[in-house]
């Protein structure tokens, strides 16, 4: 059957129109690894949670969605020893690297003793080891890790790390951000029946609705504290 010229032209135009959206939704990959069966959150700015899939399992431990891996806000998380490569896409109009100069890489080297590399406004949960440069092992929590605005290495670990900086999120400074963090600490201490000294804030995420998710944990419990745009704690969710 012969297709009329006007309909053929319209079909061509429609096919061309979808090309940019496909390019914007380009699939990318990230490795996320749970060490010592602990939960690890791997930051992906603008993550489309529905696009995430397990690309390749790297561990002998099982990687089962909802049990040992999943997503939360702009994070892919793993636990119970799951180590894997994940495929994902960023939401339309957003960059998975956080955008512009907010994404960066840094080489941090230990010559035997502990060494700290400063990164202003570092988002701790975003840090990933991109390439190990030393013969000595680089194990998160043992020979490398993060502290306030710092990536640290020890025991001869030398590596290149990728990171994302906070963008208008809550940091460890004073003012309303410090008040919100303290409010989350107090809420968690009350609901989890622990002392404030046994609680730790491990990261923050700015959500699309204007709220901020503050990640908080104790030795036995961890969860998300959601703070509205006015700095008030809206709810505390336990994982």
pLDDT band at residue 62, thresholds of 50, 70 and 90? Answer: very high
pLDDT at 20 over 50: no
Return the pLDDT at 39: 84
Closest C-alpha among 196, 200, 190 to residue 222 = 200
Average pLDDT on 59-69 reads 91
Q: Is 212 exposed, middle or buried (0-12, 13-18, 19+ CB in 10 A)?
A: buried
The residues spanned by each domain of the chain are: 27-88, 100-164, 175-238
pLDDT of residue 97: 44
What is the DSSP code string of 152-208?
Answer: EE-TT-EEEEEEEB-SS---SSSHHHHHHHHHHHHHHHHHHT--GGG-EEEEEEE-T
Looking at the predicted structure, is the pLDDT value of residue 111 above 80?
yes
Query: What tens digit of pLDDT does each residue of 190-224 get?
Result: 899 888 878 888 777 777 777 888 888 888 888 99
Q: Which residues is 152 bridged to in the sheet?
A: 116, 145
Share of the chain above pLDDT 70, in %: 79
For residue 138, the model assigns a pLDDT of 92
E strand or H helix at 10, and its extent? helix 5-17
The first and second tokens of residue 42, run together, are 């791997």
Rounded distance between C-alpha atoms, residue 131 and residue 133, angstroms:
6
* Distance between CA atoms of residues 153 and 159, nearest Å: 8
Query: Is residue 167 over pLDDT 80?
Result: no
Cα 92 to Cα 77: distance, rounded to the nearest angstrom? 22
Nearest in space to 146 (alpha carbons), one of 162, 169, 170, 131:
162
pLDDT of residue 173: 35
**pLDDT score for 5:** 56
Give the pLDDT confidence of 141-153 residue by residue, as tens digits.
899 999 888 899 9
Point out the least confidently predicted range of 3-7, 121-125, 208-212, 221-225: 3-7
Tell me the pTM.
Answer: 0.39
């Amino acid at each position: 059957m012969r297709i009329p010229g006007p309909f053929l032209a319209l079909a061509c135009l429609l096919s061309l129109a979808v090309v940019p959206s496909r390019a914007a939704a380009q699939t990318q990959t990230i490795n996320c690894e749970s060490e010592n069966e602990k939960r690890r959150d791997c930051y992906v700015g603008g993550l489309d949670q529905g696009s995430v899939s397990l690309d390749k399992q790297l561990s002998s431990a099982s990687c089962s969605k909802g049990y040992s891996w999943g997503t939360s806000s702009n994070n892919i998380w793993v636990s119970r020893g799951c180590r894997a490569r994940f495929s994902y896409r960023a939401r339309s109009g957003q960059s998975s690297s956080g955008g512009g100069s907010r994404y960066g890489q840094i080489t941090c080297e230990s010559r035997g003793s502990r060494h700290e590399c400063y990164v202003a406004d570092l988002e701790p949960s975003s840090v990933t080891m991109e390439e190990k440069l030393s013969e000595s092992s680089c194990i998160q929590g043992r020979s490398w890790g993060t502290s306030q605005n710092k990536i640290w290495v020890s025991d001869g670990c030398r590596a290149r790390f990728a990171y994302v900086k906070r963008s208008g999120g809550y940091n460890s400074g004073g003012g309303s951000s410090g008040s919100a963090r303290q409010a989350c600490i107090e809420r968690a201490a009350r609901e989890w029946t622990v002392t404030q000294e046994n609680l730790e804030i491990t990261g923050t995420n700015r959500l699309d609705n204007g709220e901020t998710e503050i990640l908080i944990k104790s030795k036995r419990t961890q969860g998300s504290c959601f703070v509205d745009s006015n700095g008030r704690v809206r709810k505390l969710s336990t994982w």
